[in-house]
Amino acid sequence: MKWGLSKKGVVVMEKNVKISVLNELYGKLLTKKQSEIIDDYYNMDLSLSEIAENNNITRQAVRDILKKGEKKLFEYEEKLQFMKRTLSQEKKIEKVLSELTKIQKNDSDKQIATILENIKKELNCLV
């Protein structure tokens, strides 16, 4: 599993995936350069040297920009908890979908089945 919630509601995710998601959520709050370098490193899979060459800066400068940007992303998530709430909400929606499927399988009323299918479609759009 690359990401998800533990039983206690804590986000469990590989660091690279987590930083990529956080940059997607909060990247506009970083400097343009920080967001671009984080994207190049975590999403485009460029090395520090390649990023340095593309931006006419040193490899050490790229590393410093990455570390500062990562730190800010984690600070934003700690304060705003948007990713944690989103993942929690997705987990709840998936549980509701599972329960609706159980009802749908056990009920033979076509009208109810149609209503349940429409609800499932709407919920699937949220996940």
26-35 pLDDT, tens digit per residue, is 999 999 999 9
Q: Quick check: helix, strand or coil at residue 12?
A: strand
CA distance 49 to 62: 8
CA distance 120 to 117: 5
- CB-side neighbour CA atoms (13 Å) of 40: 21
Kindly state the tokens that stand for 24.
């997607």
Please indicate whether residue 37 or residue 88 has the higher confidence score (pLDDT).
37
> Cβ–Cβ contacts within 10 Å for residue 1, how many?
6
44-98 pLDDT, tens digit per residue, is 999 999 999 999 999 999 999 999 999 999 999 999 988 888 888 888 888 888 8
2 falls in which pLDDT band (50, 70, 90)?
Answer: very low
Please name the fold of domain 3-80. Answer: Arc Repressor Mutant, subunit A (1.10.10)
Task: Tell me the domain boundaries of the chain.
Answer: 3-80, 87-126
